[in-house]
Amino acid sequence: MALVERRDDAGLCTLTLNRPEALNALSPSLFVELRAHVEALHKQTDDIGAVILCGAGRSFCAGNDLRAIQDGDVAPTENYQSDTVDLIENLPQPVICAVQGHCYTGGLELALAADLIVAGSSARFSDTHGKWGMTPKWGMSRRLPERVGMQRAKEMMFSARVIGAEEAVSIGLAMECVDDERLLDHVTAMAEGFLENSWHTLRGDKMLVNQGQNHGHWGALEFERRNSPGRGPDLEERLKAFGKG
């Protein structure tokens, strides 16, 4: 059984964490499969225009699988997991993370690598590093403040408290909340809407916004002027279609 299932449909790739019996806890073996899919997606910009990341069963991801590590399941390199999360953030395609149930610690770090987080009504978010005497290595200290602000991120990290779906939306951690029963259909429709636009523009927008964060205000404007990919190969076709009404 695959620990990460991939399904492609008309330019949309859905990656599903597939350890529902373990609440999709992130074992090193799961990361190896996830990494292979993500590396492939980096090379498939002509075939895949958007990506959904989700979890099978009642939870998105309960976090790092400490039991698997205790049982001898070891990642190939020291920073393998954090490098994989970085690769997800740097995918050329827009990535939507659909979260139901648990989204704890390593699972939260994984979700934060997505461009958008959509919460199901059952979603519960928490950074539980403090409960175990651990500190983050997969990007929490950077990506969580970027998403919710410095003060809110520190409160979440210091308290290790659980945040429900509605609060997650109110603080900017999730973009919106929908009923669990509609979650995957909702994010699929959202992604399909993105795919109706130019994939060239989708990739360019993501690159400019993400990399622009590495500069100050004026530096980001200069970066955009220098690095905007410009007109896409589908411009003429789209203009002709517009002209035909």
> What is the C-alpha separation between 207 and 102, in angstroms, rounded?
30
Report d(CA 218, CA 183) in Å as an integer. 38
Does the pLDDT at position 132 exceed 70? yes
Is residue 57 within 8 Å of residue 24, measured between CB atoms?
yes
The pLDDT value recorded for residue 67 is 82
pLDDT tens-digit readout, 219-240: 999 999 999 999 999 888 888 8
Q: What is the mean pLDDT of residues 189-198?
A: 98
Task: Give the Cβ contact number of residue 165 at 10 Å.
Answer: 24
Residue 238 Cα distances to 95, 201, 235, angstroms: 24, 12, 5
For residue 53, give the H/E element and its range.
Answer: strand 50-55
Sheet containing 124-126: which strands, arranged edge to edge?
A: 102-104, 124-126, 163-164
Least confident range from 9-23, 55-69, 171-185: namely 55-69
User: Structure pTM?
Assistant: 0.96
Residue 107 tokens, joined: 């699972």
Output the average pLDDT for the chain.
96
Average pLDDT over every residue of 170-187: 98
CA distance 35 to 166: 31
User: In which band, very low, low, confident or very high, does the pLDDT at 92 lie, cut at 50, 70 and 90?
Assistant: very high
pLDDT 10s digits, 15-47: 999 999 999 999 999 999 999 999 999 999 999
Placement of tokens 């990361």 in the chain: 31
Asked whether residue 244 carries a pLDDT value surpassing 80, the answer given is: no
Supply the pLDDT for residue 6. Answer: 98
pLDDT at 245: 62
**Residues ≥6 apart with Cβ < 8 Å to 93:** 13, 41, 45, 48, 49, 50, 51, 199, 202, 203, 206
